[in-house]
């Protein structure tokens, strides 16, 4: 078969550009190309993808054609994203096309597999920018109808999908993504990263976009309350990630809280590279991720893979992927619950060991090899 993959949302290893969906596509494509020795692939990238990233992808499989597409220069981006891109796809005479990022171009109607990651915008539109009606009312519903098969990254996302849309359940498949981390950094690299971000002593970590649905204000409240109750504590809360939608009130709140503390023990370090991300995860006392909703939640499993105890929310897919006993689950709407869990994970050494052991076992279920093997059963 001649299979196309929409790689316009793809993690750029050289530019460190892209988040959850982009990282999913990167690892999915690399593993699929490595495991599939029979089919021919055509990958569609934006033209500004780095040569280093293309080289990394092509090194896994020689039967790959790369098609580069210029980013939209039109006054009407819809034309480039949907009609011109669809013509590019059609020119390649594909037997099947995989769309790993929630949508299929409007004018493309050939056989396809669609991956759906997250339906938060339907459940909580207030968390997102306005004027999303075209995507939510037309593009996503039409993509779901056109797809031969719809893959969701969690059972929770499948449940949301079936509740929101009139779609045949038989065409929906749940396939968990895999988790990839590197943790064999030398001490010199570790110290270089900690020095760069001026992190001294013990810290707990949040890693993700700085936006309302990640519930960072509640995390700041919980942590600051813990510090007021434990004045001798020198632990720091480190927040790492790009600034997202409505980040300004979060930073204003952070600054106000830091001014009330004896010393600034809440630190925002900004966007981090892969190496910095891994080192920060590996060396934290605990990973705290009290998001209000996630389609999957890669950082939770990445922390488990790094042998780090996890505190996360008891909602959406987070409860599902955390499993039984592999994380402390909290009510994200209850800052006191988050505070109590931070206290437990910092002070109860036995609990910490239990969480680490359960997390190690849990993360073994999430490999890209298993994920792609299940996906390959759909390619026919």
Under 8 Å between Cβ of 246 and 162: no
The stretch 310-333 carries a mean pLDDT of 95
| Token digits of residue 278 | 């891994």
The rounded percent of the chain whose pLDDT value lies above 90 is 79
Distance of CA 315 to the CA centre of its chain: 16
Domain encompassing residue 113: 2-176+367-376
Helix (H, G, I), strand (E, B) or coil at 111: coil
Counted domains in the chain? 2
Q: Are 337 and 329 in contact (CB under 8 A)?
A: no
Same domain, 217 and 144: no
Together in a domain, 125 and 162: yes
In three-state secondary structure terms, 290 is coil
Residue at 181 is within a domain: no
User: Is residue 182 in a domain?
Assistant: no
pLDDT at 62 over 80: no
The confidence score (pLDDT) of residue 213 equals: 93
Q: Answer yes or no: do 191 and 318 share one domain.
A: yes
Both 168 and 264 in one domain: the answer is no
80-90 tens-digit pLDDT: 778 888 999 99
Same domain, 169 and 250: no
Q: 133 and 204, same structural domain?
A: no
Q: Quote the CA–CA distance of 223 and 236 in Å, as a whole number.
A: 9
What is the model's pTM?
0.91
User: Dihedral of the CA atoms 50, 52, 57, 59 (nearest 10)?
Assistant: 150
Has residue 262 got a pLDDT over 90? no
- Are 91 and 236 part of one and the same domain? no
pLDDT at 40 over 60: yes
- Whether residue 212 sits in one domain with residue 167: no
Q: Are residues 27 and 55 in the same domain?
A: yes
Q: What is the pLDDT of residues 342-351, one digit of tens each?
A: 999 999 999 9
Q: Is residue 35 part of a domain?
A: yes
Residue 217 CA to residue 166 CA, distance in Å, equals: 36
pLDDT digits (tens, 9 = 90+) for 294-305: 999 899 999 999
For every residue of 150-191, DSSP letters joined together read EEESSHHHHHHHHHHS---GGGEEE------------HHHHH
- CATH value at residue 102: 3.40.50.2000
166 and 40 co-located in one domain: yes
- Confidence at residue 19, expressed as pLDDT on a 0 to 100 scale: 82
| 210 shares its domain with 72 | no
Query: What secondary structure does DSSP assign to 58-96, as a single string?
Result: HTT-SSEEEEEEPPP-SSSHHIIIIIIHHHHHHHTT-SE
């Amino acid at each position: 078969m001649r299979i196309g993959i929409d790689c316009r949302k793809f993690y750029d290893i050289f530019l460190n550009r892209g988040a959850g969906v982009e990282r999913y596509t990167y690892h999915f494509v690399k593993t699929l190309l490595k495991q599939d020795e029979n089919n021919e692939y055509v990958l569609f990238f934006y033209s500004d993808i780095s040569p280093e990233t293309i080289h990394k992808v092509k090194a896994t499989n020689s039967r790959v054609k790369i098609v580069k597409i210029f980013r939209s220069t039109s006054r009407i981006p819809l034309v480039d994203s949907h009609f011109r891109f669809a013509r590019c796809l059609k020119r390649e005479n594909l037997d099947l096309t995989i769309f790993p990022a929630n949508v299929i171009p409007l004018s493309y109607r050939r056989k396809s597999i669609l991956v759906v990651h997250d339906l938060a915008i339907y459940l909580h539109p207030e968390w997102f920018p306005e004027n999303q009606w075209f995507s939510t009312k037309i593009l996503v519903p039409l993509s779901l109808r056109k797809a031969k098969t719809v893959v969701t990254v969690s059972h929770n996302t499948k449940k949301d999908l079936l509740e929101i849309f009139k779609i045949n359940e038989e065409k929906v498949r749940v396939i968990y993504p895999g988790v990839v981390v590197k943790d064999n950094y030398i001490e010199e690299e570790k110290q270089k990263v900690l020095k760069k971000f001026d992190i001294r002593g013990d810290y707990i970590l949040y890693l993700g976009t700085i936006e309302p649905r990640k519930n960072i204000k509640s995390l700041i409240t919980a942590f600051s309350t813990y510090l007021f109750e434990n004045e001798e504590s020198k632990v720091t809360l480190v927040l790492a990630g790009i600034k997202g939608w409505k980040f300004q009130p979060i930073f204003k709140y952070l600054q106000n809280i830091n001014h009330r503390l004896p010393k600034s023990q809440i630190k925002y370090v900004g966007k981090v590279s892969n190496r910095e991300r891994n080192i920060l995860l590996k060396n934290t006392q605990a990973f705290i991720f009290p998001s209000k909703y996630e389609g999957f939640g890669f950082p939770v499993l990445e922390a488990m893979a790094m042998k780090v105890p996890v505190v996360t929310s008891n909602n959406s897919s987070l409860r599902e992927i955390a499993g039984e006993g592999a994380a402390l689950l909290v009510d994200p709407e209850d800052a006191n619950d988050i505070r109590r869990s931070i206290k437990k994970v910092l002070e109860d050494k036995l609990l910490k060991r239990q969480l680490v052991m359960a997390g190690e076992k849990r993360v073994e279920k999430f490999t890209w090899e298993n994920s792609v093997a299940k996906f390959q059963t759909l390619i026919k």
